[in-house]
Chains A and B, each alone.
Chain A
């Protein structure tokens, strides 16, 4: 495909401007993590501060159970991502293709669970989790995160399936596929971009949450990363260096996950490649 030079230039200008905007505040965080003197603010704009050092990073790995927290977070987030994607993949399909009784009502009901201010739900949720003896378990967190991520995931998958023409399944059915097989073999592979977004979203929902995690995880051994991170924070005496360094490290896995997943963000319904 050929594009005029002007358009290409325009693309790059837009992208470069927004890359600068996207990156600068994050660079600021990086700068805090390099500061030797535990300061959030600075009176100059230099990204690499005077007397910079990687001491905060070193401390994270040597003096803090950072790796343990990382492992906990990975377990929880992976669990949530796998269940979230699996449930949303089938749930969204049903909402997209079937006109069953209570379909619209259920879709709306799913949405309503997101409408309540989360802070008001903490107290009753804590009571539930305590009564079910899920305090200090991965399962407690996973169930909660999955249920908060699912409404979006289901709706999103439904939206993706909607963009896939129903004629595809009909074609497969004519060739002797069952309804389930048509879904599994024809539709699901086409919905990969949707699955990727769903996966990324569920992962993020579990990866960065800390308010609920603080209720469930009562033992430093069981802390997820955001909780560990928050433990560097104290009213008026936060360890900014560690806090910023840990934040930077926390975001790296997200970037990695995105890198891995974005490979699948490009395929989808590429009919051009089917021509023989």
Chain B
């Protein structure tokens, strides 16, 4: 090695000589410019009072809102209204966080179903002072949402002023195939059967009779109501449109295990068994089938109709959902008022201005424009009598569907009910459950989830024990590390450069994470939940006891390990393979390289959805390729061995859905490892390979004895962090399996946490579960780093 070090030395000397050309100035130009940009970005002045609205309006509604803001600002020149679009869940979670931090938008706009939660959390305020008693009667019943005040259940506060109704489902039919819409379910079935065709006889249907969303139970509600059922138990049958669903004692009881519900799911399943509905059909699949003329009828909501009416290749029309023959009752949909709520943090005089805007949006003029420009259903009684309702058939059907519909409950329990209904609903349509089983499971799960929402833990003895344990830990740390400080001081002089080099990174990393980290530890010991959102306190180890006592978590945990191991193995394996293939004399190397990083470059939140499309049961590319492959006998045998005989129900089948998630994630992750490995290979001196060739080492030996060992230091951080990231990869699971579908069976720990926290508001429990994840990963890293000696250097 003496020759080599002499060479290295000579080379080093040359570098020193060349270094004088370096110009430090250009380095600093970029940050300086950036700082300038940052500062100038903050200093915009506007003397008007700003009112921010977070809304979840769809595109055409958004434009309408913008136009009305301009109108409003004309009469209120001192106000600037800023509308910000937020997706449903983002608005909910974002508003909760902002309100908790004492800020947030002045107004929020959306459907009424989240109001129960907002009221319980205490993040919205009573709007009664701004609405004169006499003007209440101008509104259609249901447009104004009153909810009991938390501390005084006898009183109610006005938590939302609606400006339109919406979210109701109706039957959309293609007049090319269905000239007259069905009045009854018998007619519906007959029409559907007639329109289910396989024209070219290839075993794949060319047209389905009826499609709807098989994954969201919201789309099953018309079936449920048509057979006489409802999600909550009702005090008496005549209180159909009452605002509350409470039974005796004010407790809300789900009513999902009833003969009516079983009959409804039976009917739904029979449609699928007769083949008039596809085997697997989520929202996007149903939408696409109907738009391309491959479905005669679709059950879909008011938000979708304009798109269908616009589509030129089909001749769509909207009709009221039919009446169920067995019961004589119409299929009723859930609908909700959409409107404005006032943030609890909005103080006077801004609140007055904000409410002036709400008044503007609910005025007669704007309400009329709403009907004429958007074809939406207004909240004012007079405007519902507008002549346009006589002439426009879509508006007519929409209003009729609304009139026999049922107001969406605002109770927080509804969220638990949706969560409980989703898996069995999917299972009934996926063939995994009988209707009776489904009804039973829904009811059982709903009751347990409602309990979880309302769980209200109080401090127990463990709080004292915790305090003592905390002191002991701190004390032990001090004793254990008492010499460290002295060592640090003496080391400072010797390694000053090292400390100075490390400091900026360490400060930057920990400045951001320290508060959230400790906040989470405290949260995991607290009772923060829906009921104690703003006034939570430390209650002890109850969350941990629940986490460790839950058998289901360990199954999820096991699945997370499989998920992580398989993904990381493929990421690294493929990454290194491709890097080896690229590292050498290859024509078109840079083109290959660019094309291969595409999965990394295109945002995952859309490619994951495109993978969902590729896994479609009937039309997805994956199944088509597998079918082609199965034409050859040996491949067919291999596929059947792997339980992949096409067509595979990728998204509807429990095991396959998980495999689909893994495939999508492997695709997303291999380019990153490839780039790392490529970078690492550049650092391996060619001389080593030349020497190896002289020694007649085979390619495999070269790879094994030179490439891999020298790649190790570069790959190790990527593998370690890759494992951590994969373990916590919420996005792919969420997008590809659509939030854990089917039947909540594709969850890994982190998506399980997400669901607990954001669907059932169990912040304390979620924090405890996160701590479990944290410790698992910490243990893994400690062992892995020690065994691979990652902190040591390779030449050392």
Contact = CB atoms under 8 A, between A and B. Distances in A.
B597 interface: yes
B781 A111 contact: yes
B606 A29 contact: yes
A25 B19 CA distance: 46
Contact of A139 (B38, B97, B287, B506): B38
Given A91-B505, A237-B304, A114 B512 contact: no
B610 A25 contact: yes
Contact of B619 (A41, A90, A148, A168): A41
Interface string B29-69: 01100100110011000000000100010110000000000
Nearest to A75: B37
B23 interface: no
Contacts of A174: 9
A194 B679 contact: yes
A94 B94 contact: no
Given A87-B505, A118-B728, A130-B98, A101 B484 contact: yes
Interface in A167-198: 167-168, 171-172, 174-175, 177, 179-181, 184-186, 189-190, 193-194, 196-197
A197 B791 CA distance: 20
Nearest to A208: B603
27 contacts: A11-B586, A25-B599, A37-B307, A42-B288, A43-B288, A90-B502, A104-B791, A114-B721, A116-B516, A117-B754, A119-B730, A123-B519, A130-B102, A144-B512, A147-B508, A150-B505, A159-B713, A168-B11, A172-B16, A186-B15, A196-B679, A214-B86, A237-B304, A247-B603, A268-B683, A271-B4, A271-B685
Nearest to B491: A101
B669 to A, nearest CB: 12
A40 B718 contact: no
A42 B613 contact: yes
B757 A120 contact: yes
B32 to A, nearest CB: 11
Contact of A154 (B505, B574, B686): B505
Interface in B558-610: 574, 577-578, 581-582, 584-586, 590, 592-607, 609-610
A122 interface: yes
Interface residues of B, number: 164
Given A91-B506, A115-B781, A120-B753, 16 more contacts: A1-B584, A22-B595, A42-B292, A79-B31, A79-B38, A94-B498, A100-B499, A113-B510, A114-B721, A116-B774, A164-B683, A186-B16, A193-B678, A196-B679, A204-B600, A210-B605
Contact of A197 (B283, B676, B685): B676
Nearest to A166: B795
B82 A219 contact: yes
Q: Which 5 pairs between the two chains have the least Cβ-Cβ distance?
A: A155-B717, A98-B498, A91-B505, A94-B501, A124-B516
A234 to B, nearest CB: 5
Given A43-B288, A243-B606, A125 B582 contact: no
Interface string A1-37: 1010001101110110011011111101100100001
Contacts of A113: 509-510, 513, 517
A184 B21 CA distance: 13
Contact of B508 (A12, A87, A189): A87
Nearest to A122: B97
A43 B285 CA distance: 9
Given A186-B15, A255-B601, A197 B581 contact: no
B778 A112 contact: yes
B120 interface: no
Interface stretch (B244-252, B370-378, B762-770): B762-770
Contacts of A127: 97, 100-101, 515, 519
Interface in B61-98: 82, 84-90, 93-94, 97-98
B555 interface: no
Contacts of B672: 201
Contacts of B294: 43
Nearest to A115: B777
Contact of B602 (A29, A119, A162): A29
Contact of B610 (A28, A139, A181): A28
- The residue among B37, B307, B687 with the most chain A CB atoms within 10 A of its own CB is B37
Contacts of A93: 501
Contacts of A272: 686-687
A180 B496 CA distance: 11
A96 interface: yes
Given A28-B613, A186-B15, A271-B8, A116 B517 contact: yes
B520 interface: yes
